[in-house]
Chain A
Amino acid sequence: MISKKSSSGNKGKTIRSDCYIELELKTSGGIKIKLQSKVESMYGNSIRLLIKDILKTFKVRNVSVLVDDYGALPFTIAARVESAIKNIFTEIETEFLLPFNKKSSYKTTKDRLRRSRLYLPGNEPKYFINAGLHKPDGVILDLEDSVAPASKHDAKYLVRNALRSVDFYGCERMVRINQLPAGLEDLIFIVPNNIHVIIIPKVEHAEQIKQVEEVVSEIKKKRNIKNDIFFMPIIESALGIINAYEIASASKDNCALAIGLEDYTADIGTQRTEEGRESLYARSIVVNAARTASIQSIDTVYSDVTNMEGLRESVIEAKSLGFDGKGCIHPRQIEVVHKAFAPTEPEIEKAKKIVKAFKEAKKKGLGVVSIGSKMIDAPVVKRAQKTIELAILNNLGSKNFRKE
């Protein structure tokens, strides 16, 4: 027998931009909605209409719905109602999907900049809507560690709706799925819905990437999804480090390899320190594995959000180890990360020379690029071009870089 009662969402004095839904199925009496909302006078009617529309989609005809609304946006209300309905009707495959936000049609590329990625707890809608304004290179809607077990079900619907509705202002849209195998079930919520990068946590074997790849390609085929979707495995254990290169090269869709140090240090039986000697080996392995597989390497998060100087130093260290990016857990960290990853004056000068030499060689139809007698390899040219790009992004040097 199915349960007749269900709830979803969050309630309480501190809740903002969210709502709490309680459903009770009845055998008669039609639809009864009891709404308490701080925006009743402005959006009360539109909230009721939305809820009725959702109930109709799922053919729920006799139900009492209690809504405690704290200014939730439509995508949140829709996610909460659907989650509550599907708590009861676990077998329904129908989805209630809001239209795609037209501003979110932008795509991503395998080698785009990934200096910063901002973690957003997947069941906290209040953080979603303005995340892109802080201009991280990517946002991560997290289904894993930042979501309490009891909220995992809710979070999937919320993250799905956010991917479709929220304008992230050009940021790369990433989702961190749950640790496999549970994470494989998250994929149906995200693959058809405008995702750029799937972050796979706690990876220890190449096989796990292949599993994800397989499910993703099945969903893509079934739903006729054409856009590129890349993977970013996170290594968070000693075994993962041992298998780093196999993991990094397990799929052509891998775009980056990341390291998570909280779990890694626990796994090797130590603690994170400010100077990080305990993780130097692992971090270097990750950088080397990623480079060998021709993908980016991304460093762990810096967890003290009040210590901007500590963050800056940690990014400079990450950069010197060879990392391309850093995780962020607070929007204020983003600018610090970007500035610390910005090329230095000598780096820019050197890059300029290389790019110039490259262009001249191309013009002259030469196959080999050289400065003086020194030969320059293709990857070095590519890296130099990236340095120039970064310099422009950070408003460093002259504005006429491209012309120069």
Chain B
Amino acid sequence: MKLVKNAAGRFVPTLVNGEKQIPFRGVNKYKPKSHKAAPPIRSCIDYPWDGNKVQKNLREALKKAGLKNGMTISTHHHLRNGDALTNLLFDTIKKMGVKNIMWYPSASFPIHSHLIKYLEDGTIHHIEGSMNGPLGRFASLGFMKGTGVLRSHGGRYQAVQDGEVKIDIAVIAAPQADQFGNANGLDGPAACGLLGFALADSLYAERVITVTDNLVPFPCIPWQIQGNNVDFVVEIDSLGDSSKIVSGTTQITKSPDRLLIAEYVADFIEAAGIMKDGFSLQAGAGGTNLAFAVFLKEKMKAKGVKARFMRGGSTKYLVEMLEEGLTEFILDGQTFDLEGVRSMRENPNHVNTSPFTSYNFHGKGNFASMVDVAVLGATEVDVNFNGNVVTHSDGYLLHGIGGWQNCLYSKCTILAIPSFRDRIPVIVDEVTTLVGPGELIDVIITERGIAINPKRKDLIKAVKNSGLPIRMIEDIKNEVDEICGGKPANPKTNKNKVIAVIKWVDGTVIDSVFKVKG
């Protein structure tokens, strides 16, 4: 495999799974030209006049959709670790004897380790999407036939829109749907909130199948997915385990160290002058992120400050802020708990957004860059503020990118992370895998202090007299090395064998993930 050095100094292949690649050229340095991709022309006369697109079963629908070897099949992670449909889908494909599928999920979860056997027997050729847990391990050890491609949520939309990925069949899990294919995630046993990740697929795929365990009479309102774009509807017994789709309650971390980080985050946002009337923020659902939102809420109440909008990852904590009038809107990218689902169903100010409306590279503007502050996590950060979210310091691929890359464009991007986990340093000399360039990462907040990117002189000045523990990132790193007993050794990888590539939001290749010597 031929590797070239990209603008970030990382070695990346120019050919992946037979497709030509463009090495990363720098932030905002590349944009594809020409026209967007488009789905084939369909005509209503080819569809039932009574609008009933329900098929006998999934096999029938796949057959009618023209399933054959080497196709690209997409699924979506709204059902998270409760997803039973994707496993059922590949069981069916296996039974149909079809091979070499490219699986294009918006994210994978540990439940999908069921698919490892299909990666082994050639049913699935490779994955373009996140590879978490056991799947990540499988890929890292070099067992996957093709090369993995990891994209952000926005990058997934970008790849579909500019024709980099052509989806043959999109299979959309719909907690509520009608016979015409209109669907939403708001109700039913598998209610998950919204279906934003499936939007691109419904618009651009050659064929679209809506699968539901909760078929309602036409019209299914609201139609987050429009039946106009749907070819077939399938009813099955159950989409999955609802307790793993959304949690009944999302828990704030109990770890005193994480709470300390969360407190620093809230303190920083206040001290930097970001917390003022009409501000906006992006919050995730990690334990630390939930906690920072709760600390910030107290500060907002004390000062009588109201936000204009909050982006999430919605949870009951964001919902409380909406209902108590501390924010006017929630612009929701995915819903993490039942309170979030309820709020989205009941409250018109809790708005369903997709990666298209929020952070698509080919959108005419970018929500992410309009957000005042985004608080994110990372598995590693280096002294140049570069971030990694996909691999651990042992080289294994363990997480997806999610919306992380996209959110880096916010006006103030904060990574809230422990400086080390057990004996695994998080602040390092150089990230194992480059996922986010340091020029977009403004602040690193750890339990051992806060490091501000030297580029952000404004922030440094703003918090100068705040009493917060502001430190040089090298200083924190040196302390961590000292605690851990020296610098960590580099992971043992084969630098000639790329098992996956990391895409930047514009579709260029920012880094490679190498095979781990297991």
Contact = CB atoms under 8 A, between A and B. Distances in A.
Given A129-B483, A331-B256, A332-B259, A71 B489 contact: no
A330 B256 contact: yes
29 contacts: A16-B422, A17-B423, A38-B422, A38-B424, A39-B423, A39-B424, A39-B488, A41-B393, A41-B395, A41-B489, A41-B491, A41-B492, A42-B393, A42-B423, A42-B491, A43-B484, A43-B485, A43-B486, A44-B489, A71-B421, A72-B423, A73-B423, A126-B422, A129-B483, A130-B256, A134-B260, A331-B260, A332-B256, A395-B467
B49 to A, nearest CB: 59
Contacts of A45: 489
A46 interface: yes
Given A38-B422, A43-B485, 7 more contacts: A16-B422, A17-B422, A40-B394, A42-B424, A42-B488, A43-B489, A134-B256
A332 B295 CA distance: 14
Interface in B466-518: 467, 483-486, 488-489, 491-492
Of A39, A45, A167, chain B has the most CB atoms within 10 Å of the CB of A39
B256 A73 contact: no
A395 B260 CA distance: 19
B260 A73 contact: no
Interface in A69-88: 70-74
A111 B349 CA distance: 57
A133 interface: yes
A38 B485 CA distance: 15
B26 to A, nearest CB: 31
Contacts of A126: 422
Contact of A46 (B395, B422, B448, B485): B485
B83 interface: no
Nearest to B446: A133
Contact of A71 (B395, B423, B467, B491): B423
Interface string A1-44: 00000000000000011000000000000000000001111111
Nearest to B489: A42
B257 interface: yes
B447 interface: yes
B322 to A, nearest CB: 26
Given A73-B423, A129-B483, A130-B447, A42 B394 contact: yes
Per CB-CB distance, the 4 closest pairs between chain A and chain B, nearest first, are: A71-B422, A42-B488, A331-B256, A71-B423
Contacts of B395: 41
Interface of A: 16-17, 38-46, 50, 70-74, 126, 129-130, 133-134, 167, 330-332, 395
A38 B421 CA distance: 11
Contacts of A395: 467
Contacts of A71: 421-424
Nearest to A16: B422
A183 B336 CA distance: 51
A44 B488 CA distance: 10
Nearest to A41: B394
Interface string B423-462: 1110000000000000000000001100000000000000
Contacts of B256: 130, 134, 330-332
Contacts of B488: 39, 42-43
A70 B394 CA distance: 14
B257 A43 contact: no
B295 to A, nearest CB: 12
A182 B394 CA distance: 44
B394 A43 contact: no
Contacts of A44: 489
Nearest to A135: B260
Contacts of B447: 130, 133
A167 B488 CA distance: 20
Contacts of A43: 423, 484-486, 488-489
Nearest to B394: A41
Nearest to A44: B489
Contacts of B484: 43, 73
A270 to B, nearest CB: 32
Contacts of B421: 71
B422 A39 contact: yes
Contacts of A130: 256-257, 447
Given A16-B422, A17-B423, A133-B448, A46 B483 contact: no
Of B257, B395, B467, chain A has the most CB atoms within 10 Å of the CB of B257
A39 B421 CA distance: 11
Nearest to B469: A133
Interface string B233-276: 00000000000000000000000110110000000000000000
Of B395, B467, B483, chain A has the most CB atoms within 10 Å of the CB of B483
A46 B486 CA distance: 9
Contacts of A16: 422
A129 B483 CA distance: 8
Contacts of B260: 133-134, 331
A105 B404 CA distance: 42
A189 B195 CA distance: 61
B502 to A, nearest CB: 20
A133 B393 CA distance: 25
A36 B144 CA distance: 26
A44 B448 CA distance: 25
Nearest to B485: A74
A401 B123 CA distance: 75
A46 B423 CA distance: 12
A75 B448 CA distance: 20
Contacts of A330: 256
Contact of B485 (A17, A40, A73, A332): A73
Given A38-B422, A39-B422, A73 B483 contact: yes
A348 B260 CA distance: 29
Contacts of B467: 395
A180 to B, nearest CB: 32
Interface string B368-408: 00000000000000000000000001110000000000000
A99 to B, nearest CB: 11
Contacts of B489: 41-45
A348 B395 CA distance: 57
A40 B422 CA distance: 13
Nearest to A39: B423
A50 B423 CA distance: 15
Of B259, B485, B488, chain A has the most CB atoms within 10 Å of the CB of B485
A38 B398 CA distance: 14
Given A41-B394, A73-B483, A73-B484, A133 B422 contact: no
Contacts of A40: 394
